[in-house]
Chains A and B, each alone.
Chain A
Amino acid sequence: MNERLPVLKTYKLFIGGKFPRTESGRARALKGKAGRLIANVSLASRKDFRNAVVAARAAFPGWSGATAYLRGQILYRAAEMLEGRAAQFADELNAQGTPPARARREVADAIDLLVHYAGWTDKFPALFSTVNPVASAHFNFSVPEPTGIVAVIAPPAPGLLGFIAAIAPVIAGGNTAVALASPDFPLSAISLAEVLHDSDLPGGVVNILTGDLAELLPHLSTHMDVNGIAAHGQSDETHRLLRENAALNIKRLALHPATNLSGDPYKILAFQETKTTWHPTHLR
């Protein structure tokens, strides 16, 4: 018994760049092999969700107004930090049920995906912008602009790669996010919050909640200050609910199967609005 007793981490929520406990004071025991307690995971409430939306809204002007270069730098910084903590993330995935080899591969893929999106921030606008040759003396151009606040539902698995595949295109495009972690991999999401926090990502750009999806879904999908929902690996029934509730304020929806984890600029485009600007042109 001279082995040192490890200090366990308390997994809290990530809202507005801070790590609060859920206001509800509730937690769910996450059990590992042989029923051993891994951690008590915060069970976020609708009020936590509401607070996260407020934080995301506050962060939106700054993040959407930041240069694409800066957004890319920050995402790349997150990849660097993740690389440095790769072992920790692999262990954590393992503890939540991912076999060790697969966990290591998943962390590597997650880092690479983050790097991929870091590189998109200052390129996708060139891909999706147009100069429109109108039949009058006007200069007319269309550019993508971020939609606003996007609620992100991470796929059930894989725990880390899935979460990053869900949030990266949203924030790479300048949106702010309120993300719901997979119920099976809440620890990876909250640990990623630490990485994001250490990467100079402004508070509120990504907010992460752990909890019961079924409980939060009605609030998430009806919140009038949420502009879009990206859901990954959800059931047809959930899709239907999201679509119906989206009609309340014309939320933009991107509903992906859990298997669709590839880097893709069209996933960035899903939460971009096209703005067209007209201006007269003349020399006189």
Chain B
Amino acid sequence: MKPVPRYLQHSPPVDAVGITERVARFKTRSIKAATKVSGLKLALSMLDLTTLEGKDSPGKVRQLCRKAITPDPADPSLPHVGAVCVYPTMVATAHKALKGSGVHLASVATSFPSGLGTLAARLEEIRYAVGEGADEIDMVISRGRFLAGEFNYVFDEIAACKEACGTAHLKVILETGELHTYDNVRRASDLAMEAGADFIKTSTGKMAPAATPEVTLVMLQAIQDYHERTGRMIGMKPAGGIRDAKTALSYLVMVREVLGPDWLNPDWFRFGASTLANDILMQLAKQRTGHYASPDYFSND
């Protein structure tokens, strides 16, 4: 095994019970009234509206893009979502559907979700997706290599992916559910940022547990320390498992109190989710109309 590189020496240990307690405290924040409305709109604008299924088709992707541009026709004041996230072969369809909307187009690549293709094929997949019009790439790291202690390998693969992205933004998926310990999450976060990630992202959404507030907090703290050390801002994307507006708000509280208001922006924080959008829309409708909403009034795409 190679020696631990210098940059990893920055990774402090993480105490899991402390993380759990801190998250519990974030969850006691009670977000009401105007704060709630502005928070929900913000969350909507940070959505990476995602479809990553074997049965994805151009028709499905086009519908999703409509939703991304106009989440709720009943309330034109709402922002569009942050991005649409699809497989590489769906990028061209989405690119056409989103043209001129301001909605970013993200594509998973690099043998998503396992990452177990050859490095050459994985890099080629990135170049293909970017060529088709993706301006954001969500890559997966080689978790097996990471867990075997081959940190240099993972560092190099991220750096290579970053290079393959060109001007597209790189989100590095750690798949925290497979890393298991918070120390691993912290170490992988530090490694990814040093290797050139623009965003770090919790999960593929293809396994449980996906994003949790706990791993997100660990990653936010890594981002904060990296920013302190280098001055470079890194984005954060929890993905999978965030299904309701209340949970989304508690993530935003966490971002606000750990990283500060500078990160409360779709450029620096995204939610990877599919069903979250409608719950946010329903909560916003409740705030607007004063009565509780029904799912019948919001589109399932």
Contact = CB atoms under 8 A, between A and B. Distances in A.
Question: A contacts B directly in the complex (CB < 8 Å)?
Answer: yes
B1 interface: no
Interface in A131-162: 136-138
A282 interface: yes
A2 interface: no
A280 B21 CA distance: 11
A240 interface: no
B95 to A, nearest CB: 41
Contacts of A138: 17
Contacts of A136: 17
Interface in A237-284: 280-284
Chain A, interface residues (CB within 8 Å), range? under 10
Contacts, number: 18
A81 to B, nearest CB: 51
B46 to A, nearest CB: 28
Contacts of A281: 17
A-side interface mostly: loop
Contacts of B17: 136-138, 280-282
Q: How large is the interface on B (under 10, 10 to 19, 20 to 34, 35 or more residues)?
A: under 10
A247 B249 CA distance: 55
A284 B183 CA distance: 8
Interface centre among A136, A280, A284 (most CB of B within 10 A): A284
B23 to A, nearest CB: 13
B112 interface: no
A280 B17 CA distance: 6
A284 B181 contact: yes
A138 B17 CA distance: 8
B114 to A, nearest CB: 23
B182 A284 contact: yes
Interface string B183-212: 000000000000000000000000000000
B180 interface: yes
B18 A280 contact: yes
B74 interface: no
B180 A284 contact: yes
B75 interface: no
Contacts of A282: 15-17
A135 to B, nearest CB: 13
Contacts of B180: 284
Interface string A157-188: 00000000000000000000000000000000
A282 B20 CA distance: 11
A281 to B, nearest CB: 7
Nearest to A137: B17
B191 to A, nearest CB: 19
Interface in B4-18: 15-18
A4 B166 CA distance: 110
Contacts of B15: 280, 282
A117 B181 CA distance: 48
A137 B182 CA distance: 16
A127 to B, nearest CB: 30
Contacts of A137: 17, 20
A13 to B, nearest CB: 53
A138 B16 CA distance: 11
A217 B182 CA distance: 60
18 contacts: A136-B17, A137-B17, A137-B20, A138-B17, A280-B15, A280-B16, A280-B17, A280-B18, A281-B17, A282-B15, A282-B16, A282-B17, A283-B16, A283-B181, A284-B16, A284-B180, A284-B181, A284-B182
Given A138-B17, A283-B181, 15 more contacts: A136-B17, A137-B17, A137-B20, A280-B15, A280-B16, A280-B17, A280-B18, A281-B17, A282-B15, A282-B16, A283-B16, A284-B16, A284-B180, A284-B181, A284-B182
